Structure formats: C-alpha cells, structure tokens
Amino acid sequence: MFKQITDYLNFLKYKNQFIFFNKKNFFDIKNEKKNIILVEFNTNNLSIIAYSFFLNFLKKKHKAKIISYLFTFEKSLFQRLKLLILNNINYKFFGIYKSFGVEKFILNKFNNKDNKSFLNLYQKYFKNLKSKKDLLILKIDGILIGDILYDSYLRMNNLPTINLNDDNFINFSKKFLSIFLYWNDYIKKNKKNIKAIAVSHCVYYAALPMRICLKHKIDSYQVNGQSLYKLNKNELFAYKEFKEYPKLFKKIKNKNKNKFLLDSKKRLQMRFEGKIGVDMRYSTKSAYGKIKKKRLLKKSKKIKILIAAHCFSDSPHSYGYNIFDDFYDWIETLGIISEKTDYDWYVKTHPDYIESSKLTLINLIKKYPKIKMLPSNASHNQLIKEGINYVLTCYGTIAHEYAARNITVINASINNPHIAYNFNLNPRSKSQYTKILLNLPNIKFKINTKKVYEFYYMRYLQNANNWLIEDYKSLQNLIGYKEFSKPIIYKYLLPSFKKERIKKINKNIKNFIESREYFLQPKHIN
C-alpha cells in the first residue's frame, strides 16, 4: 500500500514537471479549427514524450488541432461519463495530453446491431467465413481488417487460436464490425480535414483507424521513443525495414564493415555467455545459461529437432502473414509431421514464458508423443552441445543465434526478419515447409556466418534510435528497459531537453517527415 502511494505521488510530481515543460514549449501553436491530427491514447510514458514532440511538429506544419481517441469494446453510458469526468479534472494522462495540445478526446460509438444495414454487412463479410485464412485476408471497403480482429481477439481473451463458430468470437466480431463502421464513417466524413494520424502500434484494435486513414491517403505514423515509421498502402506494419538490410549494408564504407561485423560477433558472444538483455530490451532471463549435469536430449544417431515455441496470443501477425494461420496451427502441423518421421523431436518455451501459453503447449503436444517437452530454463548452450541439428521458429531471434553457431534454422513465416538473407531456410508455403521437414536427411545447407553478423549489425547496432533520446542504449543500460514506460523516465529525460536538444529533435522529425521514407534512418539524425 505504501509503495502504491509513493508511486502515485512520484507520478504526480513528474507529471506536473512534464506539463510545465509542454506548456512552455508547445502550447502557443495556433491552429485552423477544421484541420485535425488524430492520435491514439496511450499510457506508455516514453511514447507520450515522443508524441509531444512529434505531434507538435505536425500541428505546426498543418496548423491543426490534435484529437486523441480511446477504444472500448463496452457499450456503456458509464464509460462515456467516466471519460467526461476524467477529461474535465485532467486526471493522470488526460492532463498530460492536454498539455501538449490535445483539444478533444473521443470514444468510439457502437452502431445499432439491430440495424438492417449492419446485419446485411455482417452476413456478407462474417457469416460466410469458411476458414481462419478467410478471416486473415478479410477486407471491407478495400481495408484489411481481418488480421487486426484476429490478433485482438487472441490477445483480449488470452487464447491460442480462433474458433469461427464459437459464440464469444461471433459476439466479438459483431462488436469489432460496429467499431469499424464508426471509424469508417468518422474518417470518411472528416477525410478532407484529417491531415495525419499517429499510433503507438500497428497491431491490435487501436491500429484500426490508421488502416482506414491509409485507404484515404492520410499520412499515417507509428511513433515511439525509439523509432518512427510512415506507413503506406504497401506496408501496413512497422519494423519491416529488414527487407532492405542487405542493400543498406552495401552502402556502408568498406573500411568500417569489418569492424561492424566484429562488433556483432562480440555482442552475440555475450548472449551465448549468458548475459541478460544484450540488444534485447524486453528480455529478463538468459536463454543461454549454465549447462546442467543432467542430460536433456536422447543419446541417439537420429536427427534432433528443437521447436522454439512462441506465446500463442502475442500478435502472431505483427509482421503480416505467416505460412500458418497462427502459432497454434504451426505447432499442430509440426505434431502431425512428427508422426511421419523417425527424428527426435523437442519443444521449448522462451525463458520469459507466459504460464497459460506453456499449459496450452503441454496439452497440445500430448496428442503427439514423439515431441518431448524441455524445461523452459534449459540452456541452449547445453542443447547445442548435446547435438541439436535443426531449429524451428516462425520469426524468433533464435534464427540468427543458432545460425551463428552453424546450426540450420527453418523459419515458418514469409515475413520473418531474416527473410532477406540465406543463412536460414525460408520456405514460402506449407507444402514446401512440410517437404523440407520430411526430407531432412537429404538437406545440404551451408551457413555464411558473416551474413549472420551483417544481419545482427543492421538489426541491433546500426539503427536510428537516438532521435528523441541522445543516447538510447546508455540510458537503457542505466535504468532498464521496463523503466522506460514508467513515470521515472521524465526524471531522466526532462533535464536533457535544453534549447539546443529541442532544436535537434525537431530537426530529426523534420528530416524524417520530409524524406517521406518508410522508416527513420541514421541519415535523418543530427
């Protein structure tokens, strides 16, 4: 209780400091009342700081007012009264948003589900869905919404997969359609006035207005304290600059390349030595801990396969389509394939696993006795030493980690971050994927580890994450990644926002926006 009170008092202190900073630097921008910039309401404190700079640049550019939108799946008068009250008393984040120029907060409304046009639309688009793939590619008015619905449903209900005939899914779909219709109508009516939209993520339901904005050629950005993206009709997702890694690396001066590759090798070696969080800001445990005396793998001459499982409900479509509909279908298919082989099969969760996801995995593989469950804390160093031959993932970091140890990894996604390189096997279809797995004794595959280090450099070491924070990695090492979302981030950042630093940040934003490029790059940073 005491800690909660202390945390809240600290939040108030930092909140007031940030409000004062915003009013001093951003509040005097005049606007044209008709022009609008939409921004997703987000409570990550670092993202809010990024919003304050980015949105006020856009506000000045377009002479627009800023409107923040909130999402709810509850059709309730209480929700609206609550929003009104919290807005009027400047409660917590509402006061912060107002301080950098947000003039209005809106909450999605629900279309009347008894309305004939709504029912006709539901019948047309949802009633005839025959498969999960049909859902994933679902478009209304040319706007892809199926993947957002899919991942939102899994996340909000903590489920591993979707049952199209389940009543809960049907009710959720109706609510989702109603929300889509609200936003589609709102953006259509205001499209001439909406100059831009900013979101914190391009996945889950909060990204729905952005998808609609893209249809109407409205500038759409993902904004956070580390990166900036300008989305477009051909690229609806952030973090997909990996497709350009080889081309971008070629542009680096030759005299620097060897040093960068050596840096990558050293960083990877630190991971393999068990150091926690090396270039993986979200990691709290090492997957490469000490080797235990007890053997984990069978002593046999059979091919040994490791399945590196993902969290089932954690946005399986965050990069776009995979070979399989979701992570559950992937594991299920591997179980079926395992029964047709004479390999030793193993599966392991990430050390930072979610308990419910692990239980789902345990229950799923009960049907497939050839697959053995390994402890979540089993060291990959031990598995490699004991003779793992192949590793299976959809798009995990294990794909480059094991490749660096000269072990073949097979990815199950056509949108995985390693797709531009050939140090993994990257099948393009279920049939191709299955064929490879059934013919592993005949697979001859050579790994160029230099390309692994090249990928690592482009992914983790050569990036533009200092647009807002002067030295992002140093601050992360000092306070830890999890602290970035908390109010304490104001304590560390506000003193650094001197006049010259503010100028540089605005210049960084200007360089990026005027470039009209997909992602923020080092060349945009002052």
Domains, in order of start, for the chain: 2-111+190-239+464-521 (no CATH), 253-461 (3.40.50.2000)
The helix (H) or strand (E) run that includes residue 228 is strand 228-231
Instruction: Answer left, alpha or beta for residue 477, where phi above 0 means left and psi between -120 and 50 means alpha.
Output: alpha
Share of the chain above pLDDT 70, in %: 93
pLDDT band at 120 (very low <50, low <70, confident <90, very high): confident
DSSP state of 290: P
Of 120-129, 214-223, 340-349, 415-424, where does mean pLDDT reach its minimum? 120-129
CA distance 509 to 105: 25
Residue 116 pLDDT: 78
Instruction: Answer left, alpha or beta for residue 142, where phi above 0 means left and psi between -120 and 50 means alpha.
Output: left
The pTM for the full model equals: 0.93
Mean pLDDT calculated for residue range 303-328: 96
CA distance 155 to 337: 28
Residue 301 pLDDT: 95
The answer to whether residue 167 scores a pLDDT higher than 90 is yes
SS3 198: strand
In the block, which residue shows the tokens 């469950």? 373
Residue 107 pLDDT: 87
SS3 303: coil
Share of the chain above pLDDT 90, in %: 75
CA distance 508 to 324: 39
The answer to whether residue 2 scores a pLDDT higher than 80 is no
Token pair for 123? 């019948």
Q: Cα 388 to chain center, whole Å?
A: 29
The answer to whether residue 400 scores a pLDDT higher than 70 is yes
Q: How many CA atoms lie within 13 A of 418 on its CB side?
A: 27
Residue 509 pLDDT: 97
CA distance 463 to 227: 9
DSSP 283-332: --S-SS-PPPSS--S--SSS-EEEEE---TTS-TTTTS--SSSSHHHHHH
pLDDT band at 31 (very low <50, low <70, confident <90, very high): low
Residue 29 pLDDT: 63
CA distance 341 to 440: 10
In the block, which residue shows the tokens 């580890």? 449
Are residues 284 and 276 in contact, defined by beta-carbon separation less than 8 angstroms? yes
CB under 8 A, 24+ apart: contacts of 243-247: 243/419, 243/420, 244/420, 245/420, 245/421, 245/454, 245/455, 245/458, 245/459, 246/420, 246/421, 246/454
Tell me how far apart the terminal alpha carbons of the chain are, to the nearest angstrom. Answer: 45
Mean pLDDT calculated for residue range 324-351: 96
Are residues 146 and 136 in contact, defined by beta-carbon separation less than 8 angstroms? yes
Are residues 155 and 357 in contact, defined by beta-carbon separation less than 8 angstroms? no
| Nearest CA among 100, 115, 154 for reference residue 132 | 154
Residue 177 pLDDT: 93
pLDDT band at 487 (very low <50, low <70, confident <90, very high): confident
Helices (H), 27-145: 45-62, 77-88, 93-99, 116-125, 132-136
Q: Are strands 304-308 and 139-140 parallel, antiparallel or unpaired?
A: unpaired
The answer to whether residue 30 scores a pLDDT higher than 90 is no
Q: What is the pLDDT of residues 413-429, one digit of tens each?
A: 999 999 999 999 999 99
| Nearest CA among 236, 218, 243 for reference residue 147 | 236
